[in-house]
Amino acid sequence: MESWHYQFRVILLGDSTVGKSSLLKRYTEGVFLDIINQTVGVDFYVQFVEVEPGRRVKLQFWDTAGQERFRSVTRSYYRNSAGGLLMFDLTNRKSFESILEWHREVNERVQPFSPIFVLVGHKSDLVAERQVQQEEAEKLASSLGLKYLETSAKTNSNVEAAFELLTGEIYQAVQNGQMVPQEDWDGVKSRIPLAAAPKETIRRTAEEVQEENEIR
């Protein structure tokens, strides 16, 4: 088992066929498949990343089915998520128009913290078939308070950038105290640091404590 400091539970949301599984497979396995069977219910992936020197995060990915008939199953995974990618297909305007509904549905069900999302326009390689312009997607993202990126699993464009951006946003929320690991919530978990603090740091901290005691 690989060691980690934090574990973030992440979901991928969006209509069926927007490319959630393709994007995740490209990121976690480095491969692109032209044909991927539609997700039935939820698929699970794991990836380890270093968010800063000596600080490792275990990412648990839950790839949800976009079809309405599986919605009752995927909804059960919302609550225990720290955040995720809200995805639409740049060549499918209906999938873009569904983003507001996906965003609303998740925010109604996730407790105790508001999830952190990145809006992703996928299949950017299909330039001639584009139905959603970058400007309007950025406008939607801004209205929801989200960052926006355009990706392509086929060309590997911005794939790592999308997941790194999301991971960084969640990590920052944890560092700022906006998200706090809790016993009955699996969105964020923490462990004791892998390595002890440098001796200089420990010694300096002890001196500071002694000074505080003298002041008292």
List pLDDT tens digits, range 46-73.
Answer: 999 999 998 999 999 987 654 444 455 5
Q: What is the pLDDT of residue 97?
A: 97
Here the tokens at position 1 are: 């088992």
Judge whether residue 108 has pLDDT over 90: no
136 CB burial (10 A radius; 0-12, 13-18, 19+): exposed
- Is residue 60 within 8 A of residue 2, CB to CB? The reply is no
25 forms bridges with which residues in the sheet?
A: none
- Split at pLDDT 50, 70, 90, the class of 131 is very high
Percentage of residues in the chain having pLDDT higher than 70: 77
Distance of CA 39 to CAs 9, 17, 208, Å? 18, 9, 55
> What domains appear along the chain, each with residue ranges and CATH number?
6-215 (3.40.50.300)
User: With contact defined as beta carbons under 8 Å apart, do 27 and 163 qualify?
Assistant: yes
Residue 191's pLDDT is 85
Asked if the bond preceding 112 is cis, omega within 30° of 0, the reply is yes
Report pLDDT for 40: 43
Q: Are 89 and 47 in contact (CB under 8 A)?
A: no
Confidence of residue 209 (pLDDT cuts 50, 70, 90): very low
Structure tokens at 50: 């270093």
Q: Give me the percent of the chain exceeding a pLDDT of 90.
A: 57
Q: What pTM does this model have?
A: 0.81
The CB density around residue 36, as the number of other CB atoms within 10 Å, is 15
In angstroms, what CA-CA distances link 168 with 4, 52, 129, 173, 187? 15, 10, 32, 9, 15
Task: Tokens 């990145």: give the residue.
Answer: 118
